[in-house]
């Protein structure tokens, strides 16, 4: 047993674990970003509205993700997290592949529900495993290295999806991303091993009883900092997901780009923003916490989220594609700096047998506010704002599907194109205001953060 513990805490195995978890995150976000890039051709092919695109990119994904998050989190407290993670990857990759076979909006909706079902198992299992391999002061940094799979996956999914769609159609893009994901799922099962709970915290070797859900809720209710960290992260996720899922659409309409170029630019902006934001936020707050005040994991996101809306307002009002892209990278980096510290704080505030459930609770709140409501709200606002400037009659009736989607590619002064461009720009500008509320939540959380941290041997509530 001692030898197994030493091996799982060895530098070599930690590198393997981080590398495999990085691959999981890469395909997780590649499967998400590909739909954002394919939104325009899918909209044209299936004659959809922006609101329906928002449903596909938001509610469809979030529906069973939210419903299954806590049950899977509770399973991860009891059973092998490695096996749960492998099964989750295999299932969502299979459903991504199935997206290439659909023939209607409803069929695509059901496939995206399936993707959400699979991805519901990834985050609770992964971040619970991180906590058993790394000590508290290194968890945000370790998570940031794993989450670098987010920008890589976003870039990979957006770029590959755009290239494949341009040459072989949007259906082939789903095959190109879903099939390799199946291989990653098998590698996770073959290469990773299950550590004992609390390994990095020097928790007792004897397995502790699994706390019931009521005990978990009492701990959450007692730790005010944890409540506001989860709420702040969920609110930030609303704006972040809304921007992410409609950024390729925005770039295509504002700068008159075809799907391949819009996908490549979207992937590049997202990769730079995500990578810089994750590294700066996670390593920065870890460094400041070790050398200064332990409340920096909450202070850092509060500052960044207060600045992000102003940066985005500049970005969305910059006519130059070069400077607009630069400002979107800077804005995204400021926004994404909250993510790593948030995940680390949730793990650090809970005892080992509650961490998967805590990650699942955050994932549910993040999914409902972010993946669920964010894209749908932006899609609805886009249609609403477009109707407000469309003087020719019923915008959705006259501009549904391809006419609005193909914007300036054919005629910049076309009323449908003008309305569609104004609608998506105005909707994204409105959505970033939620970051101010998220900033306030992190400031409130910082007030009790130090006394809320978990210490090995503390009593359960």
Q: What percent of the chain has pLDDT over 70?
A: 89
User: What's phi and psi for 10, nearest 5 deg?
Assistant: -70, 155
Whether the per-residue pLDDT at 301 is higher than 90: the answer is yes
For 9-103, where are the alpha helices, taking DSSP H only?
Answer: 11-46, 50-54, 60-78, 81-98
pLDDT band at 413 (very low <50, low <70, confident <90, very high): low
Which tokens hold the place of 199? 């390994």
Compare 221 and 324 and report the one with higher pLDDT: 324
Please give the Cα distance from 426 to 185 (Å, whole number).
40
Report which listed range, 48-57, 151-160, 303-312, is most confident.
303-312
Residue 407, pLDDT > 50, answer no
pLDDT of 416 > 80? The answer is yes
Pair of tokens at residue 306: 């207060």
Q: Torsion-angle region of residue 235: left (phi > 0), alpha (psi -120 to 50) or beta?
A: alpha
Contact 345, 301 (CB under 8 A): no
- CA dist 350 and 355 (Å) reads 6
Q: Phi and psi at residue 317, in whole multiples of 5°?
A: -115, 20
Rounded to an integer, what distance in angstroms lies between the CA atom of residue 322 and that of residue 383? 27
pLDDT-wise least confident of 28-42, 196-210, 225-239, 260-274: 196-210
Q: Flag whether the pTM goes above 0.85.
A: no
The pLDDT value recorded for residue 425 is 92
| pLDDT score of 348 more than 90 | no
Average pLDDT, the chain: 82
Q: According to the model, what pLDDT value does residue 454 have?
A: 59
Integer CA distances (angstroms), 80 to 126, 193, 204, in order = 11, 9, 19
Q: How confident is the model at residue 403 (pLDDT cuts 50, 70, 90)?
A: very low
Nearest to 82 by CA among 146, 125, 127: 125
pLDDT band at 426 (very low <50, low <70, confident <90, very high): very high
pLDDT for position 461:
39
Name which residue leads in pLDDT, 153 or 70. Answer: 153
C-alpha–C-alpha distance, residues 197 and 204, integer Å: 9
Which has the minimum average pLDDT: 208-217, 240-249, 258-267, 438-447? 208-217
Average pLDDT for residues 299-310, to the nearest whole number? 95
Asked if residue 188 lies in contact with residue 24, where contact means CB atoms within 8 angstroms, the answer is yes
In this predicted model, what pLDDT tens digit does every residue of 114-154 receive, in sequence order?
Answer: 887 777 778 788 878 888 888 777 777 788 888 888 778 87
Structure confidence at residue 322 (pLDDT): 93
CB-facing half-sphere around the CA of 142: CA atoms within 13 A: 26
pLDDT for residue 220 is more than 60: yes
Rounded CA separation 273/271 (Å): 6
More confident residue, 307 or 270: 307
DSSP state of 353: G
Taking residues 102-111, what's their average pLDDT?
Answer: 84
Band (pLDDT 50/70/90 cuts) for residue 324 is very high
Cα distance between residue 205 and residue 192, in whole Å = 21
Return d(Cα 30, Cα 251) in angstroms, integer. 19
What distance in Å separates the CA atoms of residue 26 and residue 152, rounded to the nearest whole number?
A: 6
**Res. 100 pLDDT band, cuts 50 70 90:** confident
């Amino acid at each position: 047993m001692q030898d197994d513990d030493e091996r799982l805490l060895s530098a070599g195995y930690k590198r393997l674990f981080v590398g495999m978890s990085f691959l999981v995150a890469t395909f997780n976000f590649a499967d998400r970003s590909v739909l954002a890039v394919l939104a325009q051709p899918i909209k044209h092919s299936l004659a959809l509205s922006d609101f329906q695109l928002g449903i596909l990119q938001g509610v469809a994904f979030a529906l069973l993700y939210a419903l299954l998050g806590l049950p899977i989190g509770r399973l991860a407290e009891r059973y092998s997290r490695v096996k749960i993670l492998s099964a989750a990857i295999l299932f969502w990759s299979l459903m991504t592949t199935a997206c290439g076979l659909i023939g209607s909006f409803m069929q695509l909706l059901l496939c995206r529900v399936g993707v959400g079902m699979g991805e519901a198992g990834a985050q609770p299992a992964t971040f619970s495993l991180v906590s058993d391999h790394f000590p508290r002061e290194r968890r945000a940094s370790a998570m940031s290295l794993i989450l670098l799979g987010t920008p890589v996956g976003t870039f990979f999914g957006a770029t590959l999806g755009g290239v494949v769609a341009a040459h072989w159609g949007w259906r082939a893009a789903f095959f190109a991303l879903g099939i390799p994901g199946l291989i990653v799922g098998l590698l996770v099962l073959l290469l990773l091993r299950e550590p004992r709970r609390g390994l990095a915290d020097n928790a007792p070797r004897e397995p502790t009883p699994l706390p019931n859900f009521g005990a978990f809720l009492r701990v959450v209710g007692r730790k005010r900092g944890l409540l506001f960290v989860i709420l702040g992260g969920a609110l930030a996720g609303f704006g972040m997901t809304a921007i992410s899922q409609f950024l390729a659409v925005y770039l295509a309409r504002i700068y008159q780009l075809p799907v391949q170029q819009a996908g490549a630019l979207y992937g590049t902006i997202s990769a730079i923003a995500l990578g810089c934001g994750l590294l700066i936020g996670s390593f920065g707050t870890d460094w400041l916490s070790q050398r200064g005040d332990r409340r920096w994991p909450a202070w850092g996101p509060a500052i960044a989220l207060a600045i992000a809306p102003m940066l985005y307002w500049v970005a969305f009002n910059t006519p130059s594609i070069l400077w607009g892209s630069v400002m979107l990278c800077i804005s995204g980096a400021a926004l994404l700096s909250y993510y790593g510290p948030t995940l680390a704080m949730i793990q650090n505030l809970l005892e080992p047998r509650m961490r998967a459930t805590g990650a699942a609770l955050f994932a549910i709140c993040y999914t409902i506010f972010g993946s669920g409501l964010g894209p749908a709200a932006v899609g609805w606002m886009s249609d609403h704002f477009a109707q407000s400037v469309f003087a020719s009659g019923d915008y959705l009736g006259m501009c549904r599907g391809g006419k609005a989607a193909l914007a300036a590619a054919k005629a910049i002064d076309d009323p449908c194109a003008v309305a569609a461009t104004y609608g998506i720009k105005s909707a994204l500008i409105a959505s970033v205001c939620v970051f101010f509320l998220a900033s306030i939540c992190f400031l409130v959380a910082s007030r009790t953060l130090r006394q809320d941290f978990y210490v090995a041997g503390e009593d359960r509530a």
